[in-house]
Amino acid sequence: MAVSRTAMAMPLLFTLLISLTMAESKFDDVIQPSWANDHVIYDGDLLMLKLDNSSGSGFASKSKYLYGKASAEIKLVPGDSAGTVTAFYMSSEGDNHNEFDFEFLGNRTGEPYLVQTNLYINGVGNREQRMDLWFDPTTDFHSYSVLWNPQQVVFLVDDTPIRVYSNQESTKGIPFPRDRPMAVYSSIWNADDWATEGGRVKTDWSHAPFVSTYRDVKIDGCEWVDGVDWDSEVKRCSESQWGKEGRYWWKEKEMMMLNVHQSHQLLWARSKHMIYDYCNDPARFPVQPAECAH
């Protein structure tokens, strides 16, 4: 019986996809698939998260951290990515969780990506800000980072700060995330009910699969130890300058606030690229949120 070349190639293709999915990689010491494992693809030194009409996918760090810096080098979904969201974020557990979000909102071909940042503190979010980017995030890898220490949370794009949430707890009584360890996550999913033009533009599944590609995921932080006294772990990560991870550089004096150059970068990014700021939305917040007042 004659067998077509296509039929002969199918088992090889299937084996290749399985091997790419299951292969060990440089990422294995830091992260692991968290859902839809068959949509988390390892390809040499790259990791890919895939979205199709059956599922999205995601990964999570193997450890939790109290303070530090989490970074990912990502190349976002190219072409028509409308309706899709790729997220990179840190989050604690429980109803009153803390969370720091990057959400990359897909768009129609030729239209710019928007990056939405948000913070949840003690379970309360609604702190959205949206910006466009000063480059095309689909043609090359760019670094997206969150720096978290006892004085500030800083969102950075290619080491340019685009948002700062400062600790004003002792001076103004404004809550600050400081005592719950966080894991690091990334995911891709369909959000066409809101992601692109408020949900007016839907996901075109003829362009699937949608793939975001990662070149590196790096976490420097105080690694939380489960099963020991909670207060002692908070104290260790909050007050120590050294640990088993080495020097806690993210807590040194120069990291507790932006320097002059970084302050200028922040002002430039926000003046040139800010699209939306919850602090300036009286329809949602007739009384401006306390952390917005300067």
Question: Token pair of 249, please?
Answer: 């550089």
CA dihedral sign, ordered 13, 17, 23, 26: positive
Residues taking part in catalysis: 99, 103
Judge contact between 99 and 76, C-beta under 8 A: no
- CB-based contacts of 80, cutoff 8 Å, min separation 6: 108, 109, 204, 207
Instruction: Show Cβ contacts of residue 140 under 8 Å, excluding neighbours closer than 6 positions.
Output: 75
